[in-house]
């Protein structure tokens, strides 16, 4: 009998320890989610996707960048895939059409490599390819705008807004083919409407966002003032965000064991991946998560020089 009681006591103690450990993991995960949400800005393309589900936000951004206060959207598609039977397909961050039939493609780019001129050219080309039906006249091709919103001055000429048009070289006259490419450089924040928008794009606190429509949307997402569908989308966003941050590092050398762990999602993915992996980058991600350095975590996923700096900082 004594042996049985002793065994039962050990089993109960083990169960309590497991329950306490599980509660602790839930608490850590909840805190981690909170930190990620608090750190998100409109320059995070995944968060931007959720923000732009409110069409008024897309309209405001286009109105400001193009200086067209009367611009109204007829429809928009987020993460729209443009297939290409003969080559590379594209998934556009935001593809929309205004009430006059003009097309707009908005792309948020934190990496300079993701906003090279030839990529802008390819975006415009695929948009054109999908705009005409078989047999339609070329004159029916709609006017289009490819807009890259960049974290840095990708083109390096110090401009706040680059407007790229084809011109007739000798005369300098516009070619007027209806194709427009714009680069909005959020690193330059002048005291004007574009500067205000640039600051809003990099502001994590919705109370500090100057645009009323953007502030309201970001606050509703971050503070949980959304319906059940909106909450589910934020949970999906968090899973995608964490997965993306590490998967970009995986391409640089994280072992398959980490990748397998990540796929289990936001509750266990990162933790299991770090336990299985021996790669220095995996250890760095773990250190940054533990320290709550979410901005650094985002940056190391695309900035190789900064990644090396932090590896040295942590002695990895």
Taking only the tens of pLDDT, the chain with its 316 residues reads 555 666 666 666 666 666 665 555 555 467 777 888 889 999 998 899 999 999 999 999 999 999 999 999 999 999 999 999 889 999 999 999 999 999 999 999 988 888 999 999 999 999 999 999 999 999 999 999 999 999 999 999 999 999 999 999 999 999 999 999 999 999 999 999 999 999 999 999 999 999 999 999 999 998 876 666 666 777 777 777 666 666 666 555 544 544 455 555 544 545 554 455 445 777 778 787 777 787 777 787 777 778 888 888 887 7
Q: Which residues of 40-53 are buried (b: 16+ CB within 10 A; e: fewer)?
A: bbbbbbbbbbbbbb
Residue 235 lies in a domain: yes
Tell whether 232 and 270 lie within a shared domain: yes
Given this model, what pLDDT does residue 266 score? 45
User: For 104, what's the count of Cα atoms within 13 Å in the CB-facing half-sphere?
Assistant: 26
Residues 214 and 233 in one domain: no
Q: Examine residue 10 and state whether it is found in any structural domain, yes or no.
A: no
**Is 93 among the domain residues?**
yes
Question: What is the domain extent for residue 162?
Answer: 45-220
* pLDDT reported for residue 255: 47
In a domain, 18, yes or no: no
Do 71 and 180 fall into the same domain? yes
Same domain for 106 and 81: yes
Confidence at residue 158, expressed as pLDDT on a 0 to 100 scale: 97
Separation between Cα atoms, residue 32 and residue 26, nearest integer Å? 10
Contact 140, 132 (CB under 8 A): yes
On whether both 184 and 260 belong to a single domain, the answer is no
**66 inside domain:** yes
Within this chain, do residues 281 and 258 fall inside the same structural domain, yes or no? Answer: yes
Give the number of domains in the chain: 2
My answer on whether 183 and 58 are in the same domain is: yes
Indicate the residue among 182, 201, 220 that finishes a domain. Answer: 220
Same domain membership, residue 234 and residue 121: no
Main-chain phi, psi angles of 113, to 5 degrees: -65, -25
272 in the same domain as 152: no
**Based on the domain organization, do 250 and 200 belong to the same domain?**
no
Same domain, yes or no: 181 and 70: yes
In this prediction, residue 151 carries a pLDDT of: 96
Tell which of 171, 187, 220 closes a domain.
220
Q: Is residue 180 part of a domain?
A: yes
Neighbour-count burial for 7-23, b at 16+ CB within 10 Å, e otherwise:
eeeeeeeeeeeeeeeee
Position 83 in a domain: yes
82 and 163 fall within a common domain: yes
Residue 250 pLDDT:
54
Asked which of 183, 200, 220 is the last residue of a domain, the reply is: 220
pLDDT of residue 278: 47
Task: Tell whether 9 is covered by a domain.
Answer: no
- pTM beyond 0.85: the answer is no
């Amino acid at each position: 009998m004594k042996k049985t009681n002793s065994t039962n006591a050990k089993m109960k103690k083990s169960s309590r320890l497991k329950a306490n450990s599980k509660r602790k993991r839930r608490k850590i995960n909840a805190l981690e989610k909170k930190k990620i949400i608090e750190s998100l800005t409109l320059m995070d393309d995944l968060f931007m996707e959720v923000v732009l589900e409110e069409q008024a936000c897309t309209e405001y951004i286009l109105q400001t960048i193009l200086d067209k206060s009367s611009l109204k959207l007829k429809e928009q598609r987020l993460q729209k895939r443009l297939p290409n039977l003969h080559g590379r397909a594209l998934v556009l961050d935001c593809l929309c059409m205004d009430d006059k039939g003009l097309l707009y493609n908005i792309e948020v780019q934190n990496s300079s490599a993701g906003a090279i001129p030839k990529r802008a050219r390819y975006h415009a080309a695929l948009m054109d390819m999908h705009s005409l039906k078989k047999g339609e006249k070329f004159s029916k091709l709609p006017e289009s705008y490819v807009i890259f919103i960049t974290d840095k001055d990708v083109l390096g000429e110090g401009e706040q807004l680059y407007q790229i048009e084809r011109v007739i070289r000798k005369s300098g006259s516009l070619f007027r083919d209806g194709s427009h490419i714009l680069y909005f450089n959020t690193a330059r924040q002048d005291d004007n409407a574009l500067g205000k928008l640039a600051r809003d794009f990099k502001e994590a606190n919705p109370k500090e966002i100057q645009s009323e429509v953007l502030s309201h949307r970001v606050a509703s997402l971050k503070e949980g003032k959304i319906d059940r569908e909106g909450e589910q989308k934020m949970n999906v966003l968090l899973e995608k965000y964490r997965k993306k941050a590490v998967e970009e590092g995986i391409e640089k050398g994280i072992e398959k064991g980490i990748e397998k762990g990540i796929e289990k999602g936001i509750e266990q993915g990162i933790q299991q991946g770090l336990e299985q992996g021996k790669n220095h980058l995996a250890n760095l991600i773990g250190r940054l998560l533990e320290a709550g350095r979410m901005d650094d975590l985002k940056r190391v996923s695309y900035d190789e020089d900064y990644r090396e700096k932090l590896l040295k900082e942590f002695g990895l």
